[in-house]
Amino acid sequence: MPCTTLLVGKRASYDGSTMIARNDDSGAGHYTPKKFAVVTPDAQPRHYRSVLSHVEIDLPYNPMRYTCVPNALAGEGIWAAAGVNAANVAMTATETITSNERVLGADPLVHYLSADASPDGIEKPGGIGEEDFVTLVLPYITSAREGVMRLGALLEQFGTYEMNGVAFSDADEIWWMETIGGHHWIARRVPDDRYVVMPNQLGIDQFDLEDAFGEQRDFLCSSDLRTFIADHHLNLSFDDSLNPREAFGSHDDADHVYNTPRAWFIGRYFNPTTYIWDGPDADFTPEADDIPWSFVPERKITPEDVKYVLSSHYQGTPYDPYGSYGEDNRRGAYRSIGVNRNDFLAMLQIRPDMPAHARALQWLCFASNPFNAWIPLYTQIDTVPAFLATTGEHTSTDSFYWCSRLIAALADAGYQNCLNHIEHYQQAVQSKGQAMLAHYDPLLKQSDPSEAQALCEEANAAVTDALEKLCHNTLDLVLFETSNLMKNAYARSDA
């Protein structure tokens, strides 16, 4: 799946929280309806069978409750995507990343083979992948580091059929994990004062094998990675350093259109004066292969910043597909972060200054990010408002997912006429979200833990009610604008 991930360390964020965020995007030519859900321990499977790969795995008998953003329709599996568990550990999975032929030849991906396709006529299960990761890991971990270790053990045992990046966070740490071939993996702790941008490429650009096989303070990896690298001559450095991006990643021409420009835009936004981003003397261009994996931002990063950059379409540059300036052949030259096939955006925020029963927030919106708006939701809950949870197969204004899809389809077709309505909608919804936090956070700080869940669910219901009204009002406005555009177009054609 094409996605974009942003990770913000606790000393880089506005309030000392860790923040991990990811767009989940459909493949070209279709949408994947999503919903917000809570999985209670009694609903968690004890024996898991993947729909896509048919791999079967026995799961522990002590799962925790967790939130997630699964597929709304049956057929291709759960795809739980992003959530927070009862221990306030967050996980988002996955960012599809890239590799090269040397890696894939040395450790092939583990693909499912049906009995008909198998040489001996026996079905061969595949490995685990994006469909499975959150369900297999999030209910069982009490720290971000534990998340890396549990998923790493599963990858080494069962393998994977795709290249993936996965983020874990708790109140203190963020870890970023990348798979390498079928069974290998690396992970790096995000420095507290930095942010990381991941745009569908293997991204870690420096790895300390001594630490990974020693103290494991900032680096972790599969148990035989050092031997794997040596046996297959994967390290391309002339010294003893290891650049995983060079060793395990790709440098395809397509990366320069599809991937690197997204990292360039976000770096340009958060570090506008640290580097030169434009012109013949630029330190980094949209097609640069050496854009750093992490940056120290020039100011603290807010949720509003995260929403803006993960909704972006190269505003303020010659590459904006909606721009009315610059050369025609440059507009839309690069793949935008905010596209029509965004399915959801979730940011998982773990706040150290809040009590455990209200420490985590899951910011959530659906459909195309340039035209949607998100709300914060407390995660220590058992129930979810219907507007977020009841996404059906068919378009309906009773669903946040489909209502957001309708707004995006209409506003995209009439961008200039609808832009003002969209900006007002986004500001109004996000202001309601901040007002909800300003009201309920103090109450939750003072509340008894036994009363906290009811307060969290009350808060989520209140902010969702406000969202639903604003969403429907905005849909009315953009429908009116688009209808006028169509009427005027018909009038001109008749003339």
Contact 212, 219 (CB under 8 A): yes
Half-sphere exposure of 319 (CA within 13 A, CB side): 18
Q: Name beta bridge partners: 6.
A: 21, 197
- Phi, psi (5° rounding) for residue 334? -120, 155
Q: Name beta bridge partners: 177.
A: 166, 187
* Cα three-residue angle 474-480-482, rounded to 5 degrees: 100
Cα dist. 98→180, 181, 202, 275, 284 in Å?
A: 9, 10, 6, 27, 21
How many Å apart are CA 454 and CA 206, to the nearest integer? 45
- Phi, psi (5° rounding) for residue 38? -120, 130
Q: Are strands 56-58 and 82-84 parallel, antiparallel or unpaired?
A: unpaired
* Nearest CA-CA partner of 141 in 88, 198, 207: 88
Q: Of 3, 68, 365, 471, which one is the catalytic site residue?
A: 3
Residues in CB range of 208: below 8 A, 6 or more apart? 218, 219, 242
How many Å apart are CA 161 and CA 138, to the nearest integer? 20
Look at residue 77 and give its three-state secondary structure.
coil
Reply yes or no on whether 3 is catalytic: yes
Instruction: Give me the active site residues, please.
Output: 3
